[in-house]
Chains A and B, each alone.
Chain A
Amino acid sequence: MGHIKELAGKEGLFTGGHRLCAGCGIPVVVRQFLAVTEHPVIVAAGTGCLQVASAIYPYTAWRTGFIHSAFANTASTISGVEAAYKALKRKGLTDKEFHFIAIAGDGGTYDIGLQALSGMLERGHRVVYICNDNEGYMNTGVQASSATPLGADTTTTPVGARSKGKERERKDIIGIVLAHNVPYVAQVSPAHWHDLTSKAKKALKTEGPSFINSLTPCPRGWRSETHISMELCRLAVDTCYWPLFEVEEGVWRLNYRPRIKRPLADYLRTQARFKHLFLPENKDILENLQASVDRQWEQILKLCDGN
């Protein structure tokens, strides 16, 4: 494990003293990602848990340059930063190299920031865009987003006499991003740190936009215990709910194939947001969810075609 020790030897670019909840997956993703950067970093973040907890005046957890503007505009804000860099570099006003990183949650990516993301991808800015996908609007108190999975109990898709949680499946953000023909797209989990940091390095070296979607546990919103946040990610990967893959210049590669594909219920059982799905009357939802995971897994296997 030489690699990990080297990373730990560098000064962390994201300090303690931030106010994200105990057991939150976001800072784990951020720390792993920043650990493999080689140049000065400028981060843009959308309004959300990470931003409100990492920069509360006069405290900032960032040792990088950091800008937060609003909720919908993470991608357009970082586009401006990167454009400024290109202009000032050309004019000889800066000679440094930089990494430009945008970080937003699923609300800021799948929903309110989708247009800005699309614009950034189409314009081809050299930006790594990381989506911390915790499958809902957690900062405002666990409302459903278009990343919330079928059946999940949230404060806007509550389980009730006539409701069994969210009625629709989550949006295929990877498919949407890939439709922009960007050079590098990957799906990661912070529990698989070696995979995440390898992909981070590739993304940081990509000439043009790259997109990383990370499963990012939220103990508060998922109603899971804080100490199992990484274990949850492993279960998500081992059940093939959250496959680890990358798409380089349109070529799909599966980065991890579980030896035994575990039943989805093993993952769902760890989170009280899915508790109602284990009632006998909701058996069909559970089966639908399993079928949907199976279908997507088969699709990915086909797309990766032995890669």
Chain B
Amino acid sequence: MYDETGNKPGWQSLPRGGVIKRPGSASAYETGEWRLEKPVYNTEHCIQCFLCWVYCPDSAIDVRDGKVIGVDYYHCKGCGICVQECPRTGRALDMVPEGDNK
């Protein structure tokens, strides 16, 4: 939302009425830095039940070609719901302190 010079646009170049014309533009906003703990995904133990996807408040479970492939750390806030709800908790998904590169 910055112009090429890095400045925010002035009133003359903004769309009128505070209308946001780019659907889903929030995906460019990072909320991952809120995390104190992070869920770590291990594909070997994942049974592809998708419960983490259905319960994630932050749309932060990455799915590709019909499979869960990991966690979107750009958006994950580290609430831990996915780990709590995972039938293979501690294996397919485990909670570790942020900064721990396990």
Contacts and interface: CB of A to CB of B under 8 A. Distances in A.
**A–B in direct contact per CB < 8 Å:** yes
Interface of A: 1, 4-5, 7-9, 12, 14-28, 31-32, 54-64, 190-191, 193, 219, 225-231
A240 B63 CA distance: 35
A227 B1 contact: no
Given A57-B18, A57-B20, A63-B23, A16 B84 contact: no
Contact of A16 (B1, B31, B55, B63): B31
A60 to B, nearest CB: 4
Given A60-B20, A64-B23, A17 B31 contact: yes
Interface in B20-43: 20, 22-31, 34-35
B34 to A, nearest CB: 6
A25 B84 contact: no
Contacts of A228: 84
Contacts of B1: 58-59
Contacts of B22: 58, 60
Interface residues of B, number: 43
B58 A227 contact: no
B81 A193 contact: no
B25 A8 contact: no
Contact of B29 (A4, A17, A23, A24): A17
Given A16-B27, A58-B25, A230-B85, A5 B50 contact: yes
Contacts of B30: 17
Contacts of A19: 29, 31
Contacts, number: 132
A31 B61 CA distance: 12
B71 to A, nearest CB: 11
Interface of B: 1, 18, 20, 22-31, 34-35, 48-51, 53-60, 63, 66, 68, 72, 74-81, 83-85, 95
A16 B74 contact: yes
Contact of B57 (A4, A27, A55, A231): A27
Interface of A: prevailing SS: mixed
B25 A60 contact: yes
Given A4-B54, A19-B31, A57-B18, A227 B24 contact: no
B62 to A, nearest CB: 10
24 contacts: A4-B49, A9-B63, A12-B59, A15-B24, A16-B58, A16-B59, A16-B72, A17-B75, A23-B57, A24-B79, A28-B57, A56-B26, A57-B20, A58-B22, A59-B1, A60-B20, A60-B24, A62-B24, A219-B79, A225-B80, A226-B79, A227-B79, A227-B80, A231-B84
A228 B63 CA distance: 23
Contacts of A5: 48, 50, 66
B63 to A, nearest CB: 5
A16 B80 contact: no
Given A61-B24, A227-B80, 9 more contacts: A9-B66, A12-B59, A27-B58, A31-B57, A58-B1, A58-B20, A60-B23, A193-B55, A227-B83
A193 B20 contact: no
Contact of B59 (A1, A27, A56, A59): A27
| Cβ-closest 8 pairs across A and B | A16-B75, A227-B80, A17-B26, A23-B79, A17-B29, A22-B77, A22-B79, A61-B26
B75 A230 contact: no
Contacts of B57: 20, 22-28, 31, 229
